[in-house]
Amino acid sequence: MTTDHSQPGPFKSAGEDLYRRACEVITGGVSRNTVFRRPHPFYAASAKGCYVTDIDGVQRLDFANNMASLIHGHAHPAIVEAVTEQLQRGTAYTMATEAEFSFASLLCQRVPGFEKVRFVNSGTEAVMTMIKAARAYTGRPKIAKSEGAYHGTYDYAEVSQTSRPDQWGDIHQPRSVALAHGTPQGVLDDVVVFPFNDVEKTLAILDQHADQLSCVIIDPVPHRVGLVPASDAFIEALYRWTRENGSLLVFDEVVTLRVAYGGAQARYPYRPDMTALGKIIGGGFPVGALAGRTEVMKVLDPRESKVLFPHSGTFSANPITTTAGRVAMELFDLEAVERLNALTRKAMDQIEEAIRLADVPISLTGAGSMFRVHLRATPPQTYREAFQPKEVVALINEILDYLYLNEQIMMINTCACMFSTPMTQKEVDILTQAMLNAFRHIKPKLDKVQDQIPA
């Protein structure tokens, strides 16, 4: 959130002073723009379960969970105990560890399509590794991705993730739009963009590049596109197209592994060739992983006479992360997944009732243990429908500020909630009342921006 907010009265918070000093040594005072806000960020002091306390002593209910990465909330006792024990034995070595093997075994047992695993240190790195592995396997340069989908900060993966109406071109031929200034034209030329969930248009676009595409990358429930699940027909069409044209179908489940016990891919009968993982599999520590078919993953195998993709990383598969991740995923068993998904569904039902009570044109989308709020009466189905002009973004930020400052509720800056296992009906009721209050607060302004909402 980047909206202006001044502290009431003459009181200056500890966060204000800390931010002033941070700006002297950190660019912009923060190392990730997602926590930046004006006039200064808030600084965490401690956290436990689903609550975070800042350095001014204010406790907030956390539905952001470090951008969807904390499936068990903060400082889960079993994870803390396991990591503390490992800390005393060392944090990283120039050696392999049993912790790496144990965690990889767990992931392969959990998801049928995971035959082999490689660990890295972030979701961005996992996607990058997956794309490079696809190129190494196929010998082809291009990738295809959905318009608006977020896949991390790799040059190729971030193309068209924030396309605007004045940039995105015709829906039958979406343009490849750079995110970062200075992105080489060669990067844009090697990324084919298609409309999510539109089988006919997507296949027509893919056909134009059939002999050059190494992979088609899909987030099965893309957050930026609107947090709408990929349809069965869309996944089937992409699976069959990649089989027929010598390309790979790869999934980005960095966020969506939480959706079901076997990840979002469990709802489809077609297994991707590779899957990028991150967030919840780290147990609260930096993590990424690539999992997939043995034949494809072989491009990374150092035992091959010619290694097509030499791959390493100083902290990849470090025993702290793999220990924390293994314990976290053991705890997130089938019963825990189903309980958390049911609780999230209950929250969505209650918030939809709050929408009716407030009489506001708002809708929800989501899957599993996550959902997103849209300032439109009907849920968006595409990125272009989910796109928010600046007037709507300003109102979203006002809702988030209201919840953060008046209701002590933390959410992701797209107005999304990511649930964690410590949450109960108590937290759902707190959230519901807070959302009702926020809807009533912004109702007069919301009515005025309806003509800015994409049809």
Domains and CATH numbers, the chain: 42-71+334-452 (3.90.1150.10), 77-331 (3.40.640.10)
Tens-level pLDDT at each residue, the chain (455 residues): 334 433 443 446 788 889 999 999 999 988 888 888 888 889 999 999 999 999 999 999 999 999 999 999 999 999 999 999 999 999 999 999 999 999 999 999 999 999 999 999 999 999 999 999 999 999 999 999 999 999 999 999 999 999 999 999 999 999 999 999 999 999 999 999 999 999 999 999 999 999 999 999 999 999 999 999 999 999 999 999 999 999 999 999 999 999 999 999 999 999 999 999 999 999 999 999 999 999 999 999 999 999 999 999 999 999 999 999 999 999 999 999 999 999 999 999 999 999 999 999 999 999 999 999 999 999 999 999 999 999 999 999 999 999 999 999 999 999 999 999 999 999 999 999 999 999 999 999 988 777 667 66
Phi/psi region, residue 28 (left: phi>0; alpha: psi -120 to 50; beta: rest), is left
Active site annotation includes 150: yes
137 in Cβ contact with 248 (< 8 Å): yes
Catalytic residue among 132, 279, 383, 404: 279
Active site annotation includes 279: yes
Active site annotation includes 261: no
Whether the pTM exceeds 0.85: the reply is yes
Catalytic residue among 19, 150, 268, 404: 150
Catalytic residue among 54, 190, 219, 252: 252
Residue 452's pLDDT is: 67
